[in-house]
Structure 1
């Protein structure tokens, strides 16, 4: 099993280009199921989750090719309506295939999705929304769902919570539905806007993504050859920003969308880090490694501070001067990595969804276990800023969301290797 060996205490300097967003490419690949033509998706990151989605599409009978950073999906021959349980269990994003598969074939067998162990993430919003559009859904056995629909019917749906996945599933289902579908209290994340833009490229009449209310008028059929480029990954960008904040140094990030990382930049500035916008796609981060505590950070849906950056900030605040409070409002069990940080000397108290971080003067290297994607990234940040050598096991979790993480860090001065 792969692990990272990290020698801490080295400042980071250099330039990195940010890859395409994992959380954008996965629903867009699910959307290619709607298209009987050929979809060329560019700027795709090379990640385990993306590979899994490609395998799922191939298992359905679609022809899938990978050419560098492009994935080509020929949607002509869809021959199966069953998502292999071995693949669906690997990642949560498999659930968004419900909307596109039901829209095109009228039937799907799929198991409950897998993903990171960061607390319950029920799919009730997905199922209830699809039922409102006419789907019949039965839980057969061992978590296998059998879903069928004659034809989705457009309707108005008010989400109890602006769930990204549920919003995506409804958008995909509505793309081949009869009539208009309106999603109220929809998620506003940039990945939702990116999915809308791809659906528009397919010819779907859809607007409102990013506003909280989305209107979709379905098509009878989609058969179009289209080429589309995925947006940059704001969480990957934010993670590298946190790395240089913790270690000190100067880093230029290219190929970003500043608006997408503005909440991250705002909080880093509050920590004493310089974040300079060089142009609309490039920023420079400077840090002396001496960070200030932040009184309160509260995670929230976009455009608020993203829950996917919470572990990374807890890691950098572990060495900040003063006491910080982090409140997690999205997932109820996202502090699983904290025990590992405490093995490095961090002073953190967790009660339910609140973490109180008292900054310490130094962290020391330790043997660590990554248990989820972003928690693993947080351990890497702490190891980079610590004194001595750290070993991080189970980096398969990190590989799910960061392309060539150790190679990129090594290119900007980190002493990190994979074994």
Structure 2
């Protein structure tokens, strides 16, 4: 799929934030741990959700939209084998291992798909399974993980480095293990808190104690109804978009607490905001100031935000830097953004202890290269033909095309539609001259 953009047009109006992709997908999986029919509302109609619906149904479960954004899910699973041709579409497919193990005592799950942002190893997830009594082996011949368990037992697991997905994986598992378990060095992302709310409503008892999660599991969890909160990554996307158009876009359905760190950076560069009843407006200074960002897990500056921040910093007056510490391949968009006339170069920041700085696995005695960029601004961007490498990079390049003069073409646009619902239609309502075509 391609996006065709005639850039340089003024954008204004109001845009609505959809339900959170990373919450909806995890609650869909967690719903398979419950007895009865679970109802999720405010579910975004995006490619990843549709793909997961297809996988659940292929496994014999029931998953269907009852209206535009309401999804009903029930565990009527009939097979423990996740189809390879479906699983490669989304990374969250690996989490299906948990409900399959609790249903069949075995699960065959292929190597997961999704955005390619470096290795993103599943070793931390595998370790947590074995800690609670399961076992996993991997076949390089067919690309499947083979997991089995006779009976899970409560226990304690410590993540060597805080892991968002790993914490959710361990939470889903221990919520169904009768007894008391502890997850040490758990991640703090707001999406995890929504999963905790969901599991507690279903009959588990989970309490956060600093960096630990205390889990009183229950092997008889019941179905619930829960509304998906607004997508903070989409909020960030639209804040950047509005800032690029000098605050002419009002954003609806904004929750401030999950994005407090981002808002602090906005203040530093000269972007002010006001919020009332979920309506969010910006006031942008004529000259945006440069910034220095180091990505980190929540409550830090999230890695998903940095490609969007990079396109904004191309308009800042001065040099900005971004140091990526969460993924080792998050700058694939830089070459593409430079095609628009951006002036971005790599550099290696001084790092004394790589293992403590970087969230990904770093071989002892080595320091990763090309983990930071310097953005020289301001730069007037021009039209270009670019290729999308991952979802947030796609939004970065789309926004670059919107502020560039002339006609731009973006290939691989289906990556954007994995996480943004009807984005082209919403942008068109703001005045954007953009359309999608099949390649």
Q: Same fold (TM over 0.5)?
A: yes
Q: How does 1:6-155 map to 2 (within 5 A)?
A: 6-67=5-66, 68-75=68-75, 77-140=76-139, 141-155=141-155
- Does 1:408 pair with 2:426? yes
SS at the partner of 1:208?
strand
Q: Which of 8-17 and 339-348 deviates more?
A: 8-17
Q: Distance in 2 between matches of 1:380 and 1:112?
A: 30
- Give how far 1:150 is off: 1.4
1:98 and 1:169 in contact (8 A); partners too: no
Q: For structure 1, which segment, 13-22 or 331-340, has the greater mean C-alpha deviation from structure 2 after superposition? A: 13-22
Provide the residue aligned with 2:313 in structure 1: 317
Quote the Cα distance in structure 1 between the aligned partners of 2:160 and 2:187.
Answer: 11
Partners of 1:291 and 1:7 lie apart in 2 by 25
Question: CA 1:275/1:316 → structure 2, altered by over 3 Å: closer, same or farther?
Answer: same
Q: Distance in 2 between matches of 1:270 and 1:382?
A: 22
User: Contact 1:94–1:113 (CA<8 Å) still a contact in 2?
Assistant: yes
Q: Distance in 1 between matches of 2:127 and 2:43?
A: 31
Out of 369, 383, 386, the residue aligned to residue 387 of structure 2 is: 369
Q: How far apart, CA to CA, are the structure 2 residues paired with 1:64 and 1:356?
A: 46
The CA deviation string for residues 216-263 of structure 1, in whole angstroms up to 9 with x for no partner, is 1111222x3421111110001100111111232422222221111222
Indicate conservation of the 8 Å contact 1:158/1:183, yes or no: yes
Q: For residues 361 and 255 of structure 1, what CA distance do their matches in structure 2 show?
A: 32
1:90–1:371 distance in 2 versus 1, CA, 3 Å: same
Does 2:311 correspond to 1:293? no
Q: Which runs of 5+ in 2 are unaligned?
A: 348-369
1:201-350 correspondence runs (5 A): 201-208=201-208, 211-222=210-221, 224-279=222-277, 281-287=278-284, 290-294=287-291, 296-350=292-346
Task: Measure, in 1, the Cα distance between the counterparts of 2:107 and 2:143.
Answer: 14
- The match for 2:351 is none
Please name the residue that 1:396 is paired with: 414
Tell me the SS of whatever aligns to 1:414: coil
Q: Cα offset for 1:288?
A: 5.8
User: How far apart in 2 are the matches of 1:215 and 1:249?
Assistant: 43
Q: Structure 1's 251 and 21: CA in aligned 2 closer, same or farther, altered over 3 A?
A: same
Tell me how far apart the structure 2 counterparts of residues 252 and 9 of structure 1 sit (CA, whole Å): 19
**CA positional deviation for 1:286:** 3.2
Structure 1 residues 10 and 355: CA distance shift in structure 2, 3 A: same
Q: Which moved more, 1:161-170 or 1:88-97?
A: 88-97
Distance 1:338 1:371 in 2: 10
Distance across 2 between alignment mates of 1:247 and 1:16: 13
CA 275–18 in structure 1, closer or farther in 2 if over 3 Å, else same = same
- Kept in 2, the 8 Å contact 1:14–1:252? The answer is yes
1:152 is displaced (CA, Å) by 1.4
Measured after TM superposition, the shift of residue 64 of structure 1 is 1.5
Do the aligned residues in 2 keep the contact of 1:323 with 1:358 (CA within 8 Å)? yes
The answer to whether the Cα contact below 8 Å between 2:242 and 2:250 also exists between their aligned partners in 1 is: no
Give the number of aligned pairs: 413
- Name the SS of the counterpart of 2:95 in structure 1: helix
**TM-score normalised over the length of structure 2:** 0.91
Ranges in structure 1 where 5+ consecutive residues have no aligned partner: none
Report whether the alignment pairs 1:358 with 2:376: yes
Would you say the 8 A contact 1:8–1:383 is kept in 2? yes
- Tell me how far 1:213 sits from its aligned partner: 1.4
8 Å CA contact 2:247–2:281 kept in 1: the answer is no
Decide whether the 8 Å contact of 2:342 with 2:379 is kept in 1.
Answer: no
State the alpha-carbon separation in 2 of the partners of residues 309 and 4 from structure 1: 22
Distance 2:398 2:18 in 1: 19
Contact kept, 8 Å, 1:162 with 1:186, in 2: the verdict is yes
| TM-score calculated relative to the size of structure 1 | 0.95
